[in-house]
Amino acid sequence: MYSACASRIARRFVKVLDAGDTSCAARIKEVRTVDHFPGTAADAEAARSRAGDESRPTERRAAAVAAAMVADAIQRWSINYSGKSRGLRGGRWSWRGDDTVEFRFDRARFAADVAVSGSATWERASGAVRAAAAGRLVGRPAEGQLEHAAPVGAGAARRQVQHVQAARGHARAMTV
């Protein structure tokens, strides 16, 4: 939900060099950020796997990068008015909606060697995110498949992809 809290504080500060009453700031939801910008999948922290999981660390890293791409798009949504943008290191993503925001990813790259394609839905009121996005390692056979349903908060990209399960050569990442 939008709040005029920050803009009131900022306007007052610019006008009289005093922030005034800032108590409204305590009611503002946390600022969502990505806490790590891996240059390549090898730089990403692999998602955790459960006992019996056959996924490889490279697949779990690709899934973690896919989650980071989703989190980055959500963070950048608030400053994007065109409905489309580019991944940090290439590819594209787009969005539509307001209370419920739908994202589409087309080979969007958060890390240079992971092309993320798929979709995500963000319920702004609750913060819940549902994502089905594949992070394919460019030039390699490994793919991390993100299936995610959880709020995305500060530092969430690495922590929330907690489980990856291999299925027919694809890794599926899920929160637990």
Strands in 128-137's sheet, in edge-to-edge order, are 84-86, 92-97, 100-111, 114-123, 128-137, 143-151, 170-174, 163-167
Distance of CA 119 to the CA centre of its chain: 11
As a dihedral over the C-alpha atoms of residue 150, residue 84, residue 89, residue 163, rounded to 10 degrees, the angle is 20
* 119 in the same domain as 67: yes
Q: List C-alpha distances in Å: 56 to 50, 88, 125, 164.
A: 12, 25, 36, 9
Phi then psi for residue 23, to 5 deg, are -60, -25
Residues 117, 49: one domain? yes
Q: For position 159, what pLDDT does the model report?
A: 43
Residues 39 and 106 in one domain: yes
Looking at the structure, tell me whether residues 46 and 114 fall in a common domain.
Answer: yes
User: For each of the chain's 176 residues, which pLDDT tens digit applies?
Assistant: 457 888 899 999 999 999 999 999 888 766 656 677 899 999 998 877 767 777 788 888 888 888 889 889 988 998 899 999 999 999 999 999 999 999 999 999 999 999 999 899 988 888 888 887 777 888 765 556 665 555 554 344 444 444 444 443 444 444 43
The reply to whether 128 and 154 lie within a common domain is yes
* Domain co-membership, 25 together with 36: no
Same domain, 78 and 105: yes
Q: Are residues 58 and 3 in the same domain?
A: no
- Residues 20 and 105 reside in one and the same domain: no
Whether residues 58 and 132 share a domain: the answer is: yes
Q: Which residues of 30-60 are buried (b: 16+ CB within 10 A; e: fewer)?
A: eebebeeebeebeebbbbebeeebebbbbbb
> Is this structure's pTM higher than 0.85?
no
Report CA 42 to chain centroid distance, whole Å: 18
Total domain count, the chain: 2
pLDDT of amino acid 63 = 82
| Domain around 110 | 32-174
Residue-level pLDDT at 171:
45
CA distance 114 to 138: 6
How much is the pLDDT for 167?
41
Same domain, 47 and 100: yes
Amino acid type, 162: Q
Same domain, 21 and 62: no
